[in-house]
Chain A
Amino acid sequence: MTLLGKLTWQAFPLEEPLPLFSGLAVFLVLIAILVWVWRKGHVPYLWREWITSVDHKRIGIMYFMLGSVMLLRGFIDAIMMRTQQAIAFRAPGFLPPSHFDQVFSAHGTIMIFFVAMPFMIGLMNLIVPLQLGVRDVAFPTLNSVSFWLTAAGALLVNLSLLIGQFDRTGWLPYPPLSELRYSPGVGVDYYCWAIQISGIGTLMTGVNFVTTILKLRAPGMHYTRMPMFCWTALAANLLIVAAFPVLTATLGMLLLDRYVGFHFFTDTAGGNSMLFMNLIWAWGHPEVYILALPAFGIFSEVVSTFSSKPLFGYRSMIYATMAICIISFMVWLHHFFTMGAGATVNSIFGIASMIIAIPTGVKIFNWLFTMYGGTVRLRTPMLWAIGFMVSFTIGGMTGVLMAVPPADFQLHNSLFLVAHFHNVIISAVVFGAFAGYTYWFPKAFGFVLDERLGKWAFWLWNIGLWVAWGPGYIVGLEGMTRRLQSYDVAEWRPWLLVMAGGVVIILLGILAQIAQIVVSVRTRDRRRDLTGDPWDGRNLEWATSSPPPAFNFAALPNVADQEPYWDMKTRAREIGQLVRPEPRYEAILMPRNSPTGFVTAFFAVVTGFALIWHIWWLVILGLVGSYATFVVFAWRDHDEELIPAEEVARLDRANRAARTTRLQERMAERESQQESHE
């Protein structure tokens, strides 16, 4: 027992130049940014307006930024793997197995937990309260805690670059490989504690959004008037509430095995490793839909707006969403048909997995009929949606193919499988995030993103997706298994070279997106969205200014129909003036900012780090710290802030004026058009 537990100088990769330099580079850049921010005097602003913010819009934006930064990290891992496999033909390549295995594990973990999840949760944060016509989520401070705990998990994963090692057993640490006997290092512990901490954050997000959607809606917004995105958000958060405790318990058991010699999963001592496989996928398959459902919601919004039509088959879409929500808990066994479960069990789970494809297919057809008879405007968000529909249809097909057990007997764990899930997850979740990002960016920041560079990004990502993963299906059918650090089968080589080329194309797509944001910010004055409705939108988020004031709506809207904002606009055009007369402005109470989330997360990182390295006194310190933070927060008596009526009036009047001007312009346009017709 030493003061620093297992932590010694050997934890630092002093003899391995690659991790040492990449780790150091990342942290130096990070420190440089922090120093720059501090020298420029931005710290008080960041602290006041962002770090301690409990505003759902700010939190949503921070989630999205976290996801973007982690996408870069995960993508660098992807470049390393693709380069390794391109050169490691009958050769060791540049990554030894001990390092390569960390790279795919970190890539998978980061992409799922710290890219896809923050993207989806971020967009839900930004938009759901606006679409529901309310002022914030049900528990604003809890929301901030959720975000900061997610960030804490991401930080721990990245800390393993520099101190110690990351997990080498894949993005799901199957025992026995992940048990102490076979993975004695700290890698699995980094994984587990990072996911435990961020998992608590995610669970609280689930509770928060289920409550918000069930309990806080604008007057008149019945369930069957909620926008599709809110429905899918509800379904996804119900899944979070039901599934994340399973993940936490499963990893908890693994931790008990590793830390105190329990034997939940050790076959040699009365445990059962197959139990882990079942439990982790009881969470894992719903997780797929936790990611995909909100993306489907985003596409529903985008397709309807840019086809200038309401969503086709709205009720059918609700049934499909809820059907997916329920069935997703009944298919987990399809992840291990090859474990020898027996024909009847296999075929029942195979058929259940196919049944889930029915509501998914229904969604595709309903989007198709939403476009049918509409006016399809190909702005960037819509392009992402179309790219999604095409690629996802193919990815869904290969998924159903693997739901046929005897076919899966030859495809399981092959690159065919890896190509399948990249095909669906990139086309649905990543493209969904990009569609939502370009669609709602003006709402969040008050100006529209550059279209030309957006279209470049779209084409590069789509072509890149197919060049990077299309050949994956082929090498999979040529018998290549996943996670290979090196190989000596000549047939695979050409395809792996093509796939490496695909990654370069995706890289260009990412560069186009970076250029897009730089150019758009520089020319933002020309891109202002003054009315708050740049795309001729249909739901309530467009009924307020861009960016919306902290309180979202000066007066809560009254909802009488399924597309409240579209109705308001149509009637306004008929009568030639804004429908809603200026309300009697009143002061609004908003929750006060709080550092609780940030401070809790700080202590969570300390606790997690101390647990990983067995520094027990620090564990106690960290736990006491987080508990104290909670007590201080619970006992505060000043927790709300009053926004005076004049301020509310000022902000709302400016927006009303802009909308009136725009309306008059529209009417004038219409008249001149009619005259020219006559």
Chain B
Amino acid sequence: MPGLAAGDAAIDRKRSSATAGKVGLLLLALLVLSELGGCGRAQLQPAGPVSAAEREILYDSLAIMLAIVVPTILAILGVVWWYRPSNRRARRMPDFVYSGRVELVVWSIPALVVIFLGGIAWIGSHDLDPAKPLRSHHAPLDIQVVSLDWKWLFIYPKLGIASVNRLVVPAGVPLHLTLTSATVWNVFWVPQLGTMIYCMSGMADNLYLEASHRGVYYGESAMIDGDGFPDMHFNTHAVSRDRFDAWVQATRGSGPVLNEQTYRALLRQSVPPHPYTYRSVQPGLFADVVLLRLPPGHGPQGAVPGVHPIGGSNVHPAELK
């Protein structure tokens, strides 16, 4: 799909120009201020309800704690300065070593903070449970995710197609992801959409996400999985319903078929030079992977020279492209 590829390039260009002159040294102040401003940061520029709610929780928790942390730091520095040996006005109290009232305050301030935060944690964990369906008047779109050495396979079971290293979704529709791994552990993470989750072989996790706006969102693996790890990233394209339908039609029209045989080729350690799609998928393939009816990845022993080999070598994807 040339249109999608052009979108990728545009995003890259926008990113680099927007950040050209951002080097600064007042890091702490910058961190707090610019982060609260939320300008152009991945998790802090949410593109869906999940990441938006998570950002809210992050800010609330941070604000509650800063209310204690900032005064504490100022108090530490203030006391050090005031009680310097040369300060004749400081009242010395070498015997001030215990005070029930101070103890009470000292234990209750952090305890109060924890009560607040504990409430946020409890409510937030339940609201944002990854396996909890999102509220929406659209039915969720099912997507099955398989992490492989070193690529992502996205199967659209109801649509009968699959895609490697590019996730295309309709904007505004909840996504029901079911995730597993056909190799070592991985973590599926699209920061602008929210919650990351482990992909583990022999198991399937559920995750609900949604992209509210159209756009291209960076996705990656957040768990070291060997030499191809830095290349385990993909773009998520959230497009309008019409464009999504058009993409599905186009996908069905061309490309290879994903069946047991072609799947076995995917098990080899390799990094595909560019994303591609499968025009049809053998039904039940995902279940076969989860239930280990299909074998897991070979690891380095299976690294047959041929299909995009990069295992253990120095070849960067930029050179492969």
Q: Interface of A with B (CB < 8 Å)?
A: 90-92, 96-98, 101, 168-170, 174, 176-177, 181-184, 267-268, 273-274, 307-316, 336, 338-340, 342-344, 346-347, 350-351, 354-355, 357-358, 360-362, 364-366, 368-369, 371-378, 386, 389-390, 393-394, 397, 400-401, 403-407, 409-414, 466-467, 470-471, 473-474, 477-479, 481-491, 493-495, 497-498
Contact B229 A97 (CB under 8 A): yes
List residues of B (48-80) whose CB comes within 8 Å of A's CBs.
51, 53-55, 57-58, 61-62, 65-66, 69, 72-73, 75-77, 79-80
Asked whether, in the complex, the Cβ of A346 is within 8 Å of the Cβ of B83, the reply is no
Indicate if the CB atoms of A340 and B110 lie closer than 8 Å.
Answer: no
Contact A494 B114 (CB under 8 A): no
Contact B114 A96 (CB under 8 A): no
Q: CB-CB < 8 A to A401: which residues of B?
A: 58, 61-62, 65
Chain B, range 106-135, C-beta contacts under 8 Å to A: 106-107, 109-111, 113-114, 117-118, 120-122, 124-132
* Across-interface contacts of A357 in B (CB, < 8 A): 110, 113-114
Tell yes or no: B314 within 8 A of A by CB. yes
Q: Is the CB of B94 within 8 A of A477?
A: no
Most chain B beta carbons < 10 A, residue from A358, A372, A413, A481: A481
B15 on interface, CB distance cutoff 8 Å? yes
* Cβ contact within 8 Å between A409 and B195: yes
Instruction: Among B30, B72, B83, B295, point to the contact of A373 (Cβ < 8 A).
Output: B83
* 19 cross-chain CB contacts under 8 A: A90-B318, A181-B301, A182-B297, A267-B203, A346-B125, A354-B121, A358-B114, A369-B99, A373-B83, A394-B28, A401-B58, A401-B61, A404-B57, A404-B61, A409-B195, A466-B28, A467-B27, A478-B43, A498-B25
Question: A474 to B40, alpha carbons, bound, how many Å?
Answer: 11
Q: Is the CB of A358 within 8 A of B107?
A: yes
Q: Is the CB of B299 within 8 A of A91?
A: no
Given known pairs A184-B300, A490-B19, the reply for A407 and B94 (CB within 8 Å) is no
Partner among B41, B96, B129, B226 whose Cβ is within 8 Å of the Cβ of A478? B41
A274/B200 contact (C-beta < 8 A), A96-B314, A393-B69 known: yes
- Chain A residues with CB under 8 Å of B195's CB are 338, 406, 409-410
Name A354's contact: one of B43, B117, B314 (CB within 8 Å). B117
CB pair B194–A409 under 8 Å, yes or no, is yes
In the bound complex, residues from chain B placing their C-beta under 8 Å from that of A495 are 22
Q: Which residue in B16, B18, B97 is a CB contact (below 8 Å) of A314? A: B97
Q: Are B229 and A413 in contact (CB under 8 A)?
A: no
The smallest C-beta distance from A17 to any residue of chain B, in angstroms, reads 13
Residue B141, interface by CB 8 Å? no
With A354-B118, A474-B35 given, is the CB distance from A371 to B83 under 8 Å?
Answer: yes
How far does the alpha carbon of A487 sit from the alpha carbon of B65 in the complex, in Å? 33
| Residues of B close to A340: CB separation below 8 A | 130-131, 197-198, 205-206
Q: Are B44 and A477 in contact (CB under 8 A)?
A: yes
Of A174, A182, A350, the residue contacting B121 (CB under 8 A) is A350
The minimal Cβ–Cβ distance linking B1 to chain A, given in whole angstroms, is 20
Residues of chain B within 8 A (CB-CB) of A313 are 97-98, 102-103, 106
Q: Which of B159-167, B180-188, B247-255 lines the interface with chain A? A: B180-188
- Closest residue of B by beta carbon distance from A174: B185
User: Which of B92, B107, B128, B218 touches A479 (beta carbons < 8 Å)?
Assistant: B218
Q: Is there a chain A Cβ closer than 8 Å to B285's Cβ?
A: no
Query: Once the chains are docked, how many angstroms separate the CA of A177 from the CA of B184?
Result: 5
Interface string of B294-310 (1 = CB under 8 A from A): 01111111000000000
User: Closest approach, in angstroms, between the C-beta of A189 and any C-beta of chain B?
Assistant: 15
In the complex the two chains form, what is the Cα distance from A179 to B102 in whole Å? 53
Beyond known contacts A181-B299, A267-B203, A374-B92: 4 more, CB 8 A cutoff? A97-B226, A372-B96, A474-B41, A484-B229
Minimum C-beta distance from A379 to chain B (A): 11
Q: Is the CB of B197 within 8 A of A404?
A: no
A404 contact from B109, B121, B218, Cβ within 8 A: B121
What is the distance, in angstroms, from B278's C-beta to the closest C-beta of chain A?
25
- List the B side residues contacting A314 at CB < 8 Å: 97-98
Cβ–Cβ contact A316 & B189, under 8 A: no
Do A375 and B92 touch (CB < 8 A)? yes
Residue of A169, A338, A369, A407 touching B198 (CB-CB under 8 A): A338
Please tell me if B284 contacts chain A, counting CB pairs below 8 Å.
Answer: no
Interface pair A374/B94, CB less than 8 Å apart: yes
A470 and B28 form a contact (CB under 8 A): yes
CB < 8 Å neighbour of A393 from B72, B111, B187, B198: B72
Indicate if B12 sits at the interface (CB-CB under 8 A).
yes
- CA–CA, A342 to B129, complex, Å? 7
Closest residue to B302 on the A side, CB-wise? A181
Could you say which of B196, B206, B218 contacts A412, with CB atoms under 8 Å apart?
B196
> Does B4 belong to the interface (CB within 8 Å)?
no
Shortest Cβ gap from B281 to chain A (Å):
23
Contact A403 B77 (CB under 8 A): no
- Determine the distance from Cα of A274 to Cα of B83 in the docked complex, in whole angstroms: 52
Q: Which residues of A contact B122 (CB under 8 A)?
A: 347, 351
In Å, the complex CA distance between A350 and B299 comes to 35
Of A268, A361, A474, which one neighbours B296 at CB under 8 angstroms?
A: A268
How many B residues, CB 8 Å from partner?
117
Q: A182-B183, A316-B103, A466-B27 are in contact. Are A351 and B118 (CB under 8 A)?
A: yes
B69 & A397 in contact (Cβ 8 Å cutoff) = yes
Looking at the assembled complex, report how far the CB atom of A654 sits from the nearest CB atom of chain B, in whole angstroms.
Answer: 31
* A481 pairs with B44, CB closer than 8 A: no
A273 to B180, CA, bound (A): 14
Q: How far is the CB of A537 from chain B (nearest CB, A)?
A: 15
Which chain B residues lie closer than 8 Å to A411 at the CB level?
43
Contact check, B109 vs A361: say whether CB atoms are below 8 A apart: yes
A residues in contact with B97, CB < 8 Å: 309-314
Beta-carbon contact of A376 and B79 below 8 Å: yes
**CB-based contact A497/B96 at 8 Å:** no
Q: How far is the CA of A424 from the CA of B89 in the complex (A)?
A: 35
Interface pair B85/A409, CB less than 8 Å apart: no
A471 partner, pick from B27, B42, B102, beta carbons under 8 A: B27
The docked-state distance in angstroms from the alpha carbon of A410 to that of B193 is 10
Contact with A along B205-229 (1 / 0, CB 8 A): 1100000000000101111111111
Which residue of chain B has the shortest Cβ distance to A396 in the bound complex?
B69
Min CB–CB distance A80 → chain B (angstroms): 16
Provide the bound-state CA to CA distance between A360 and B103, in Å.
14
Instruction: Judge whether B224 and A267 touch: CB under 8 Å.
Output: no
List chain B residues, Cβ under 8 A from A386: 76-77, 80
Kindly list chain B residues whose C-beta atoms are within 8 Å of the C-beta of A467: 25, 27
A184 & B301 in contact (Cβ 8 Å cutoff): yes
6 tightest A-B contacts by CB?
A479-B42, A373-B93, A470-B27, A361-B110, A479-B191, A490-B16
Give complex CA distance A96, B120 in Å: 43
State A490–B10 Cα separation when bound (angstroms): 13
How far apart are the CA atoms of A360 and B113 in the complex, in Å?
13
Known: A343-B129, A390-B73, A494-B23. A358 touches B121 (CB 8 A): no
A487 touches B230 (CB 8 A): yes
Q: Does B243 contact A (CB under 8 A)?
A: no
Q: Please name the residue on chain A nearest to B44 by beta carbon.
A: A477
B91, A373: Cβ atoms closer than 8 Å: yes
Shortest CB-to-CB span from B317 to chain A, Å, is 8
Query: What is the CA–CA distance of A346 and B118 in the complex, to the nearest angstrom?
Result: 11
Bound Cα distance from A470 to B301, whole angstroms = 41
Closest approach, in angstroms, between the C-beta of A451 and any C-beta of chain B? Answer: 15
| Complex Cα–Cα for A485 and B227 (A) | 9
The docked-state distance in angstroms from the alpha carbon of A362 to that of B109 is 9
Tell whether, in the assembled complex, residue B299 and residue A182 are in contact, meaning their CB atoms are under 8 Å apart: yes
Given the complex of chains A and B, what is the CA–CA distance between A366 and B65 in angstroms?
19
Bound CA–CA A357/B30 (angstroms): 26
Q: B137 contacts which chain A residues (CB < 8 A)?
A: none
Q: Are A268 and B312 in contact (CB under 8 A)?
A: no
A410 near B72 with CB under 8 A, answer: no
A346 vs B120: C-alpha distance in the bound complex, in angstroms?
Answer: 12
A497 CB → nearest B CB, Å: 7
> Is the beta-carbon distance between A336 and B198 smaller than 8 angstroms?
yes
Contacts of B201 in A (CB 8 A): 176, 267-268, 273
| A361 and chain B: residue at smallest CB distance | B110
